[in-house]
Amino acid sequence: MDKLSPKQLGEKILQNVGGKQNVASVAYCATRLRLVLKDVELVDRAALDKMDQVLGVVEQSGQFQVILGPGTAGKVANEIGELLGFKVGEVDAVTAKKEELKVKNSTPFKLFLRHLSNIFIPLIPAFVGCGVIYGSSKLLSNLNLISGNTYEILKVIGKAVFTYMNIMVGMYTAKEFGGSVTLGGSIAGILSAPGLANIVINGENLVPEQGGIVAVLIACMLGALLEKKLRKVIPSVIDLIVTPTLVLLIVGLGSIYIVHPLGVALTAGISSIVNTLINKGGFLIGALLSGTFLPLVMTGLHRAITPIEVSLLKETGIDLLRPILAMAGAGQVGAGIAIYVKTKNKKLKNIIASSLPVGMLGVGEPLMFGVTLPLGRPFITACLGSMLGGAYVSIMKVGSIGIGLSGLPLILLIPSESIVHYIIGTLLAYIGGFLLTYFTKWDDLSEGADGGMEGNEVLNEILNLK
């Protein structure tokens, strides 16, 4: 059957999700079409699963998500936006109210993690770009291909995100918690100011930026909350002068005397715990982290890891977590290859063939949601298989100098002396995922099956995805 154009595919999807009148908003990410539906019961899941260009469907975060793969998702989303007559991302009032109620019913911890994710996600492009430039400059310098002024220029560019990272985190934190971005940046500036070295607290001079990202997050969050409180009680005629002055004075003093020392202790504690676990725990910690990472992703708890990674990069210049966690995706790749070899379902083979290349590049959603999860046991064997790679890179102390990449592209962020060990770890995760999946009994999808396997339903229940 010929592939449908983005417009035709969009029209077909609309038919199977209850029609135009059932769609309240449309958005997309790298691989998924994200729809907010007025009534999920109107969705014809069987029809969607049978569409050759649909790699899988999942309900998550109040959205009905159709996995289409890189490039296709954005094109289809734009076509659906035109068909519906509103911009991609627009939500009607009824749905907005429903989503507001869902947010109120979310646990405070998950809401806090979502806030953290929203703060750091905008910084990822800078981490990737700077990391690639800095890593490349180090590699070229070690090979004696560049030196002197050229190396120093590339080093300055590669380190740019860290130079003003506290300020950017402060601004995004304030924005996320409903405060003024400029006040957030100013509060972060207090904690980063060189003048802190002239201030003596408890007989010791403060060290600029020593409180790390943790201090910035705490101070700017408190600043945003205080600002919102003050704006409710300060008369509007003097609000512009009084509110920012009080926020900066109160939070500034609190940051110097309380938040900065607290941040120093917490940052040192986090770095020490992570590095000690990996250094002392060796292969056990590496295996545990890689094997449990994808279940964490599915529950949203992985959002807590990003601030830890950023803190490690800021304090030590190396992130020992990123390569270990990347092995989780490699295990899925190995499992995907095993399923491709064993399955008799032609549609499943086509899904795997299109999902494997992007899976190797670090985009694991098509493999996870379109292949291993619907089959049930292969998702578990993929996670267990990844532990082989996670254990190896943990033992070899493989670290990255940036975040935002995974899979084979992460090589660009691995120090040159550790690249070979990262590649070996990836191959071990491929092999582990392949062998465990190939030699484990799982029910294949029969030709024409809709993909609704019991294993997927059980996993959904266990991971509280419904």
Examine the residue annotation and report whether 130 is marked as an active-site residue of this protein. no
Q: In terms of Cα–Cα distance, which of 420, 426, 400, 423 is closest to 134?
A: 400
So which residues are the catalytic ones? Answer: 29
